[in-house]
């Protein structure tokens, strides 16, 4: 399968612990996005990379959250000192970048479900 891959699929941790998720995009895609989805809601945008550069961050991304894409390939999303409200599905998507990018569909992984005890 050459789609977007996310690991782990599920993560259960205690409040206050740090967690890290990984996303492997489709290999030729230079744009990578992170979203968060809570139950019954649509996904919410968190941040976006063009190659290794992080170009936009949502106000939802507090200082406990950090995302990296060190070589412009895979990306990691770390949450420090997790809180109950961080429980959600974390989705990664990738796309080709060309022109304004508005036409390029995003391809999503199946997400990492985070549960905070």
Partner 1 sequence: DAKTTQPNSMESNEEEPVHLPCNHSTISGTDYIHWYRQLPSQGPEYVIHGLTSNVNNRMASLAIAEDRKSSTLILHRATLRDAAVYYCILRADSWGKLQFGAGTQVVVTP
Residues in contact with partner 1 by CB under 8 A are: 4, 31, 33, 35, 40-45, 48, 50, 55-56, 91, 93, 95, 97, 100-111
Q: How far is the CB of 13 from partner 1 (least distance, A)?
A: 20
Residues 65, 75: Cα–Cα separation, whole Å: 13
Contacts of 22 (CB under 8 A, 6+ apart): 6, 7, 74, 75, 76
The residue (of 45 and 74) whose beta carbon lies closer to partner 1 is: 45
Minimum separation from the CB atom of position 26 to partner 1 (A): 12
Please tell me the distance from the alpha carbon of residue 37 to that of residue 88, in angstroms, as a whole number: 6
Give the nearer residue to partner 1 in terms of CB position, either 14 or 105.
105
């Amino acid at each position: 399968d050459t789609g977007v891959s996310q690991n782990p699929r599920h993560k259960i941790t205690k409040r206050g612990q740090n967690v890290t998720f990984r996303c492997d995009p489709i290999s030729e895609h230079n744009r990578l996005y992170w979203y968060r989805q809570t139950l019954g809601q649509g996904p919410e945008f968190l941040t976006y990379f063009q190659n290794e550069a992080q170009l936009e961050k949502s106000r939802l991304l507090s200082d406990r959250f950090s995302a990296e894409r060190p070589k412009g390939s895979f990306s990691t999303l770390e949450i420090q000192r997790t809180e109950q409200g961080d429980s959600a599905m974390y989705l990664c998507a990738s796309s080709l970048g060309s022109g304004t990018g508005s036409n390029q569909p995003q391809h999503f992984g199946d997400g990492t479900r985070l549960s905070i005890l």
